[in-house]
A and B are shown apart, each in its own frame.
Chain A
């Protein structure tokens, strides 16, 4: 093999940087969606690398459901500060109060309420593009997603009418009021994300590592017990050594029993894992087309 060779992480990195610079060059008001989760941590490092020595030329946006793990928000705020970035947080709480989002009766999850909250934030700041950390390996409907994913003026995704993406030529053109979602990590897998975190020595929120936590068994998974998820009558609360593989809301993110204390441990665990990471997300199990439906409505 010649010395002019990129390993798989270098290839994915160079591709993601190309996509990010394309956004900076083609859009007037882009934003970078940053939750503090592992995918957006990689996204942030890629943005640093794409634009240095300049600072990242776009604000960070997070939609807070109010059901976030507190560890995550603390991490998000600190990281944004370290990078001297402008962090914009819009909350579902606020959207509910303003009537932008309406909770269906009996519905506890706020996952779907992120959609109107995000669309309102896009409108408020007139963002023409949002960079997100979604990956195609996460879910079947995501496997058909483009790097540059066009959204109409209602924020909708039309899977049957996507722009063909050919070579590395991205069509970034939109009309007034329309929007683009761009996913530089499209070709990354869960394993690639952890390997990149190891290679770049990136800090991640503590809940990715094993810690003792009170859990209840519900719908085949371990849910963390807290104010929003009290144990139901007859449910046994157990203290387990767990960690999270993917971070959604505190009410729907299952914990997995794991002794993984370091990124190396997580990589070793991921390489022998027998369940996909989204397997621990109740929001995706709702129906076979759960993700497809949310994406059509304007989800990330």
Chain B
């Protein structure tokens, strides 16, 4: 048997959002079906359930609706993940449902995405729901957005209609902080412009959805400027068989930003101790440099006090460090957020106690305007808040770094994740006590 040619393939994570009937599951089903990512037994299972419950009609949506209640009620309860590959790229789809809990689910599905696909029904155009999805993508700073104008078959594949919808969306764009937006006319039901170019829309010369997903440049989606390593685990071999390891003390974690090289000076925050990188271990072994988002273990020249929750940073590009935080927060729990209540705040690898001191306003997620005079945030609300923490948090603005600028809130007792936060840029950089302390 011959071995397929293998060349470096990267990975694109995207999420799909749409409202209940605009054909989101059908679009995903089509993408999997036409890219030949579906297997015979999956098609067979589809046919089996078509015979039992679907009156003989194959329902591509059944591919993504995995739980019994979902199939019975024809809804999608939770975020489901799908995988497919082309020779160019591997893809992870977070399928986020469009019903009541949409904000919570979309935030979950989109938080780690490189790209969002917003589905728009060509008959309805840009509706409130579409604006909401674009606003959430913008708040989460998803680097790339695709507006898939679906059901083109139902508007006679009209170019005028497509341009009209594209213009509606572009009118709305200046409010958003989206860097890269692409509109594509498709028909998920028939497969037009999903994988194969449409014969029904010769006027459209742009890429199909799949070829756009294959081509979009994601190399610069991580922040490679300011070095940040949240210390996750201190690596100290227990009774090592190799005596050379007796004094080994490594600092393990996933690089959240920037590039690190052997010999480079670093600072540990919040303490402010300085040192120099002596050795870098990656999954590939000992290397001279490493970069975000690699998981590494770093050995420093000096034996200084570092533990989980500390952050090792570039001393030339310091982050913020504060016990008073300013953030946008998305509330995820049916019990509303009230000021003063205590939570646990998990940020990078540290967990501190926290309370929201002020809810400044709620953000209207169909136009991003502030709504004042709000005393609590209900589930699916996004608001701007001030938070006080029990210990200093070392952070960047979310706009600069999604990994060091984000946090979750956990309710003590139930241990439920109740909020997702995105921090504003620090108003001043860290000024640690021991900054001038040189060993």
> Which residues of A does B touch, CB under 8 Å?
1-2, 4-8, 10-14, 17-18, 21-22, 24-25, 49-55, 57, 136-137, 139-144, 150, 159-160, 162-169, 171, 173-175, 186-187, 189, 191-192, 195, 259-260, 264-265, 267-269, 271, 273-276, 279, 288-289, 292
Contact = CB atoms under 8 A, between A and B. Distances in A.
Nearest to A273: B39
B242 A53 contact: yes
Contact of B77 (A137, A159, A165): A159
B288 to A, nearest CB: 13
B108 A165 contact: yes
A264 B77 CA distance: 39
A25 B349 contact: yes
A187 B79 CA distance: 14
28 contacts: A5-B8, A6-B10, A11-B10, A17-B283, A25-B349, A50-B252, A51-B235, A52-B281, A52-B297, A53-B242, A54-B237, A137-B83, A140-B66, A141-B66, A143-B80, A143-B81, A143-B82, A144-B67, A144-B77, A144-B78, A159-B78, A165-B417, A166-B417, A173-B415, A187-B81, A189-B85, A195-B6, A274-B39
A268 B4 contact: yes
A18 B295 contact: yes
Given A7-B10, A143-B64, A195-B6, 11 more contacts: A8-B11, A136-B83, A143-B82, A144-B66, A144-B78, A165-B108, A171-B415, A175-B415, A186-B81, A271-B4, A276-B39
Contact of B346 (A136, A171, A271): A171
B406 A11 contact: no
Interface of B: 1-4, 6, 8-11, 39-42, 45, 48-49, 64-69, 71, 77-83, 85, 89-90, 92, 104-105, 107-108, 111-112, 219-220, 224, 232-233, 235-238, 240, 242, 245, 248, 250, 252-254, 259, 281, 283, 291, 293-295, 297, 308, 332, 344, 346-349, 402-403, 406-408, 410, 415-417, 420
A6 B416 CA distance: 33
Contact of B233 (A10, A24, A191, A289): A24
Given A260-B1, A276-B39, A160 B104 contact: no
Given A25-B308, A164-B108, A275-B40, A7 B253 contact: no
A274 B48 CA distance: 17
A163 B417 contact: yes
Nearest to B414: A175
A259 B1 contact: yes
Contacts of A195: 6
A4 B224 contact: yes
B71 A288 contact: yes
A273 B85 CA distance: 13
A189 B91 CA distance: 11
B229 to A, nearest CB: 12
B1 A8 contact: no
A24 B349 CA distance: 12
Nearest to A137: B83
Contact of A12 (B11, B79, B233, B308): B11
A274 B36 CA distance: 9
Nearest to A49: B283
